[in-house]
Amino acid sequence: MARVLYYAPRSPYARKVRIAIAEKNLLCELQQTDITNKPPEFLKISPIGKVPVLVDEDGTTLWDSTLIMEYLDETYPQPSFYPSEPSQRLQCRLWEELADTLGDNIVALWLLPSQR
């Protein structure tokens, strides 16, 4: 089956995953998803109702951009996104978490209201 990424164009979390997919040169269908009026088939695979959601070629389905990034890096290691050395990896994850937390605030203040 084809790999599919459920995304919204303005989602910074989906964009993070789209960049990793492009850098890793993976074939992937992009399924644009209306997060203000979520289709039932999307809610079936996304218990938290948020994009991004990745459905991999073997049917592996996962959500949350950070979990998707870790999964992609472990499953398709070239080129690698996270450093392998533990302290460098931790630094990278800390910056990613900081960016995601800032993203949460931006999404709450700006992106979602302007899409309604």
Ligand X SMILES: N[C@@H](CCC(=O)N[C@@H](CS)C(=O)NCC(=O)O)C(=O)O
Kindly list the residues in this chain that would bind ligand X in the complex (CB under 6 A). 8, 11, 13, 35, 49-52, 64-66, 100, 107
Q: What are phi and psi of 54, to 5 degrees?
A: -110, 130
For residue 37, the minimal CB distance to ligand X (Å) is 10
The continuous run of DSSP H or E covering 44 comes out as helix 40-45
Q: Are strands 29-32 and 61-63 parallel, antiparallel or unpaired?
A: unpaired
Distance CA 72, CA 95 (A): 18
Q: Which is nearer to ligand X, 78 or 105 (CB)?
A: 105
Q: Which is nearer to ligand X, 75 or 115 (CB)?
A: 115
Q: Which is nearer to ligand X, 5 or 65 (CB)?
A: 65
For residue 81, the minimal CB distance to ligand X (Å) is 15
Distance CA 99, CA 27 (A): 26
For residue 91, the minimal CB distance to ligand X (Å) is 19
Distance CA 42, CA 46 (A): 6
For residue 60, the minimal CB distance to ligand X (Å) is 16
